[in-house]
Amino acid sequence: MASALLYDRLQFAFTATFHYFFPQLTMGLALLLLYLRSRALATGDEHYQQASEFWTVIFALNFGFGVVTGIPLEFQFGTNWARFSNFAGGVIGQTLAMEGVFAFFLESSFLGVLLFRKRFSRGVQWCAALMLFLGSWLSGYFVLATNAWMQHPVAYQVGEDGRVFVDSLTGLLTNPWLFWQFTHTMTAAVVTASCVMAAVGSFYLLSGRHVPYAKTFLRTGVVAGAIASALMIFPTGHGNARQVFEHQPVKGAAFEGLFATERGASLYLIGQPNLETMTIDNPIEIPGALSILIYDELYAKVKGLDAFPREEWPDNLPLLYYAYHVMAGLGTILLSVMGLALFWLWRGRLFRANWLLWLLMLSAPFPYIATSAGWMTAELGRQPWLVYGLLRTADGTSPLVHSGNALFTLIGFVGLYLLLGVLFLFLIGETIRHGPAPAGPQSAHGA
Q: How far is the CB of 53 from other proteins (least distance, A)?
A: 14
**Residue 11 or 151 having the CB closest to other proteins:** 11
**Residue 23 or 314 having the CB closest to other proteins:** 23
Candidate ranges 85-93, 277-285, 300-308, 351-359; the one touching other proteins (CB under 8 A): 85-93
Q: How far is the CB of 422 from other proteins (least distance, A)?
A: 12
Determine the residue type at 34.
Answer: L
Q: How far is the CB of 275 from other proteins (least distance, A)?
A: 35
Is residue 150 involved in binding other proteins (CB under 8 A)? no
Q: How far, in Å, CA of 239 to CA of 181, rounded?
A: 9
Range 152-181, binding other proteins (CB under 8 A):
157, 159, 163, 165-167, 169
Is residue 405 involved in binding other proteins (CB under 8 A)? yes
Q: How far is the CB of 217 from other proteins (least distance, A)?
A: 21
**Among the listed residues 378, 396, 377, the one whose alpha carbon sits nearest the alpha carbon of residue 386:** 396
Is residue 212 involved in binding other proteins (CB under 8 A)? no
Long-range contacts of 325-329 (CB under 8 A, 24+ apart): 325/255, 325/268, 325/269, 325/270, 326/369, 326/370, 326/373, 327/370, 327/371, 327/373, 327/374, 327/377, 328/237, 329/269
Is residue 80 involved in binding other proteins (CB under 8 A)? yes
**Residue 60 or 338 having the CB closest to other proteins:** 60
Count the residues of the shown chain that bind other proteins, applying the rule CB under 8 A.
Answer: 70
Is residue 421 involved in binding other proteins (CB under 8 A)? no
Candidate ranges 241-249, 334-342, 346-354, 423-431; the one touching other proteins (CB under 8 A): 423-431
Is residue 427 involved in binding other proteins (CB under 8 A)? yes
Q: How far is the CB of 112 from other proteins (least distance, A)?
A: 4
**Residue 275 or 400 having the CB closest to other proteins:** 400
Range 46-65, binding other proteins (CB under 8 A):
60-61, 64
Candidate ranges 219-227, 242-250, 274-282, 399-407; the one touching other proteins (CB under 8 A): 399-407
Q: Which of 104, 295, 313, 368 lies at the binding interface for other proteins (CB under 8 A)? A: 104
407 neighbors 37 (Cβ within 8 angstroms) = no
Q: How far, in Å, CA of 423 to CA of 46, rounded?
A: 31
Q: Site map for other proteins, 105-134, x if CB under 8 A?
A: xx-xxxxxx-xx-xxx--------------
Is residue 67 involved in binding other proteins (CB under 8 A)? yes
Candidate ranges 44-52, 66-74, 249-257, 338-346; the one touching other proteins (CB under 8 A): 66-74
Q: How far is the CB of 156 from other proteins (least distance, A)?
A: 10
Binding site for other proteins (CB under 8 A): 60-61, 64, 67-69, 71-72, 74-75, 77-80, 82-83, 85-94, 96-102, 104-106, 108-113, 115-116, 118-120, 157, 159, 163, 165-167, 169, 398-401, 405, 408-409, 412, 416, 420, 423, 427, 430-431, 445, 447
